[in-house]
């Protein structure tokens, strides 16, 4: 009598084949889907340091005071789902100790709002969905996934243009290694502002269109290589006013040698980077490799049992079995 395959052997074989099919799907489909800029971004990063700013009440530049930059980023999920792009609304405030406790960002020393739209896979800008201002470059609030050890064009909102960041080696932040990128910005005209002439050395004119200049003592970004998340950052902004056509600064609006991530912001960014890395590693390497190994073992075991179950009993030929019946 011919034996049939047992239910266990069929279960093992089916499970093995399923895992063998699932493994490449995880690596080739699920993992690339995970390497996409999230729509539901909701983060706050804080820079602190000391510097100078123009006190409009005292009509003078106050020096060596604590300064805080707070950047809040929230994703517009509904717009992102409809457009297929990452749509982020960004609010940035610069505060002194006097303005920091205020609930209304309009009370800050400086307040800017932006709307950034990027391709979720390449991180390149997408000019749609109410983007403002129109920006360029290849790195902004984050870098692309799989950061390369080369120079990147970084969008500087204050400058209103890109800055070339040079790759400058690696650096550990709270035990997590990142790629270091640095740059400086020479004084560059970034706009105009109407001010009393006396403010820029032209007392004979009641109002003048002063030229606003921006420079940066040093930009330093430490970036997680896998996800492009910035785990530490420092900047040294300097904005000044000049009389029309002058090459000398007349008023310092804001100047700091270094404003850097607070320890709390560092910790949060590193924790997010580690969590994102673990997730990508799980769906891109651990699960596919484990699934392929387990699938092969199960399929082999199930196949052996199926073959044995369908073979005639040892020592008896099909003819002998027929006679026994």
Domain containing residue 258:
38-186+216-236+254-278
> What DSSP string describes 144-185?
PSS--SS-EEEEETTTTEEEEEEEEEEEEETTEEEEEEEEEE
- Contact, 310 vs 27, CB < 8 A? no
* pLDDT at residue 103, as a whole number: 77
Cα dihedral 31/35/39/40 (nearest 10):
80
* pLDDT at residue 57, as a whole number: 84
In degrees rounded to 5, what are phi and psi of residue 187?
A: -50, 125
Angle at 39 between CA 37 and CA 43, to 5 degrees: 90
Range 277-286, long-range pairs (CB < 8 A, 24+ positions): 277/224, 277/226, 277/227, 279/34, 280/31, 280/34, 280/35, 280/226, 280/227, 283/26, 283/30, 283/31, 283/34, 284/26, 284/27, 284/31, 284/34, 285/27
* pLDDT at residue 29, as a whole number: 45
Of the candidates 315, 309, 217, 290, the one whose C-alpha atom is nearest the C-alpha of residue 13 is 309
Same-domain status, 118 and 264: yes
* pLDDT at residue 297, as a whole number: 57
* pLDDT at residue 26, as a whole number: 45
Same-domain status, 231 and 318: no
Residue 193, domain member (yes or no): no
Hey, is 58 helix, strand or coil? coil
Same-domain status, 46 and 173: yes
* pLDDT at residue 145, as a whole number: 93
* pLDDT at residue 279, as a whole number: 80
The HSE-up count of residue 38 (CA atoms within 13 Å, CB side) is 12
Domain count, the chain: 2
Same-domain status, 42 and 88: yes
Same-domain status, 44 and 123: yes
* pLDDT at residue 50, as a whole number: 97
Exposed / middle / buried, residue 264 (Cβ in 10 Å: 0-12, 13-18, 19+): exposed
Same-domain status, 231 and 289: no
Digit-by-digit pLDDT tens for the chain (325 residues) are 555 555 655 464 455 554 445 545 544 544 455 678 889 999 999 999 999 999 988 889 999 999 999 999 999 999 999 999 999 999 999 999 989 887 788 889 999 999 999 999 899 999 999 999 999 999 989 999 999 999 999 999 999 999 999 999 999 999 999 999 999 999 999 999 999 999 999 999 999 999 999 999 999 999 999 999 999 999 999 999 999 999 999 999 999 999 999 999 999 999 999 998 888 766 555 555 555 565 555 455 555 555 566 555 555 544 444 444 4
* pLDDT at residue 84, as a whole number: 93
């Amino acid at each position: 009598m011919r034996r049939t395959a047992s239910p266990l052997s069929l279960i093992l074989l089916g499970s093995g084949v399923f895992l063998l099919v699932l493994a490449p799907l995880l690596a080739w489909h699920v993992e690339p889907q995970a390497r996409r800029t999230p729509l539901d971004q909701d983060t706050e990063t804080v820079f602190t340091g000391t510097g100078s700013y123009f006190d409009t009440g005292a009509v003078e530049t106050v020096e060596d005071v604590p300064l805080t930059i707070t950047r809040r980023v929230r994703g517009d999920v509904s717009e992102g789902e409809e457009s297929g792009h990452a749509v982020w609304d960004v609010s940035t405030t610069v505060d002194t100790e006097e303005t920091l406790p205020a609930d209304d960002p309009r009370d800050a020393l400086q307040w800017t709002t932006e709307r950034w739209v990027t391709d979720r896979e390449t991180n390149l800008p997408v000019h749609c969905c109410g983007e403002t201002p129109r920006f360029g470059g290849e790195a902004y609030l984050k870098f692309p996934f799989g950061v390369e050890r080369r120079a990147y064009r970084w969008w500087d909102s204050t400058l209103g243009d890109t800055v070339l960041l040079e790759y400058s080696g690696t650096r550990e932040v709270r035990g997590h290694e990142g790629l270091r990128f640095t740059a400086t910005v020479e004084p560059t005209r970034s706009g105009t502002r109407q001010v009393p002439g006396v403010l820029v050395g032209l007392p004979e004119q009641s109002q003048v269109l002063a030229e606003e200049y921006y420079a940066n003592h040093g930009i330093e970004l430490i970036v997680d290589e896998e996800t492009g998340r910035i785990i530490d950052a420092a900047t040294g902004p300097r904005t000044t006013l000049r009389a029309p056509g002058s090459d000398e600064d007349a008023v310092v609006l804001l100047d700091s040698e270094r404003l850097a991530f607070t320890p709390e912001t560092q910790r949060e960014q590193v924790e997010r980077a580690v969590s994102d890395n673990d997730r990508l590693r799980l769906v891109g390497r651990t699960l596919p490799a484990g699934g392929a190994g387990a699938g092969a073992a199960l399929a082999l075991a199930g196949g052996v049992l199926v073959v044995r179950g369908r073979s005639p009993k040892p020592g008896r030929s099909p003819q002998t079995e027929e006679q026994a019946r």
